Amino acid sequence: MRIFSLLLIAVFFLFAGFSCSKDNGESDKLTISVIPKGTTQEFWKSIHAGAVKASQELDVNILWVGPEKEDDRQQQITLINNQIIGQVDGIVLAPLDDMAIRRPVKSAVDKNIPVVIVDSGLKDSEDVYTSFIATDNFEGGKIAGRQLGEMLEGNGKVILLRYNEGSASTDKREAGFMEAIAEFSGIEVVSDEQYAGVTKATAQQASENLILRFRDEQGTLGFDGIFCPNESSTYGMLQALQRNRLEGQVKFVGFDASPALIEGLEKGEIHGLVVQNPFNMGYLGVKTMVAHLNGQPVEKRIDTGVHFITQENMTQPDMQELIKPDLDKWLKEN
């Protein structure tokens, strides 16, 4: 009986000790909020996975909070304000809008919560945020233009199917593409005024109508190359080409990767994809924030780089890691 109660007391203290040390640990650990633009796309999941990896390496807590509805600026502003109220140590943010999100970021920084911007820029705020970590979208577009031009050996007609009005990152890719393609004097851009719209179905409709517009009565296509600046527009175009049994017949360069696009690349229906490194964005976002909080100097602008993936180089291990990242490894444990 006595032994039993002694045991009980011992166990009690053991637990108390555990919970105490845990409490202390929790309050010592830095807490960093990571706020994406949305939560549903593969792209954001990769950022999440990268952030989790950094948090485990550096032993910090991360809070992953994204807008329920994508493209909801109001909700993202509310989320940022909530983090200020919650007194987190720092915020890693992918702003939905380069203007509308400026004020909440400023008020966070004013309350001594530093902000690292990832993925998309914030206008005229270099003195406000700590660091900007993103793909150089203009450069990504230029790579696409240069590669497509070389595939066509500098001759032919190409189509640019834009993504959506008012999307800063894809605007830059489109501008980069137009600049690079203009250097090939033998290449003519026959259409650059059409937009895919936000869903894949609208992208597919716009693509079908482009094919309809440029195909003559004998069935020959009036264009030789296509560029689409994001995942949904590339997917819509791929579907439209397949449905018209034209897959593989024109040089087709897309942007971003998803299982369906990788399959298209394997089958030779897509000739190249410009891919970003969202995992690295999330990883470096958290890492840079922790370095800053620890008083180390950080770089103001970090380029996470783009790669051009083709059928030939897609089997290389470093490319495989980009197009088929092992997200479950990082996201399951949470």
Partner 1 sequence: MNWKILNKFGPFLALLFVYVFFALLDAKITTFTALETMLLQTVIVGISAIGMTLVIIAGGIDLAAGSIIALGSVVVALLLESFQFSPLVAALGGIGAGALCGIFNGLLITRLRLVPFIVTLGSLLIVRGVAKGLSGSIPINVGHTPLSNLLAALPADQKWQLLPSGAWLMIILAALIAGMLRYTKLGRHIFAVGSNEQTARLCGVAVERVKLFVYTAAGAFSGISGLMLMSYQEQGDPTGAIGLELDVIAAVVIGGGSLNGGEGSILGSIIGAVIMTVIRTGCQLNGWPPWVTQIVTGLVIVLAVLVDQLRHRQTA
The site for partner 1 (CB under 8 A) is made up of: 39-42, 45, 70, 165, 191, 193-195, 197-201, 204-206, 208-210, 212-213, 215, 217, 235, 239, 243-244, 258-260, 263
Token pair for 111? 């309350």
Query: One-letter amino acid identity for 180?
Result: A
Number of C-alpha atoms within 13 angstroms, CB side, residue 70?
10
* Residue whose C-alpha is closest to residue 43's, from 263, 196, 310, 256: 256
Least distance between partner 1 and beta carbon 323 (Å): 15
* Residue whose C-alpha is closest to residue 79's, from 59, 94, 60: 94
Name beta bridge partners: 134. Answer: 303
* Cα distance between residue 271 and residue 262, in whole Å: 10
151 in Cβ contact with 271 (< 8 Å): yes
Closer to partner 1 by Cβ: residue 200 or 251 = 200
Closer to partner 1 by Cβ: residue 34 or 133 = 34
Token pair for 330? 């990082």
Least distance between partner 1 and beta carbon 14 (Å): 40
Closer to partner 1 by Cβ: residue 225 or 236 = 236
Give Rg (Cα) of the chain. 24
Least distance between partner 1 and beta carbon 37 (Å): 13
* Cα distance between residue 6 and residue 196, in whole Å: 72
77 in Cβ contact with 99 (< 8 Å): no
Q: What is the DSSP letter of 221?
A: B
Closer to partner 1 by Cβ: residue 38 or 305 = 38
Closer to partner 1 by Cβ: residue 108 or 250 = 250
Closer to partner 1 by Cβ: residue 125 or 239 = 239
Closer to partner 1 by Cβ: residue 99 or 212 = 212
> Hey, how many other C-beta atoms are within 10 angstroms of the C-beta on 109?
18
Length of the chain: 334
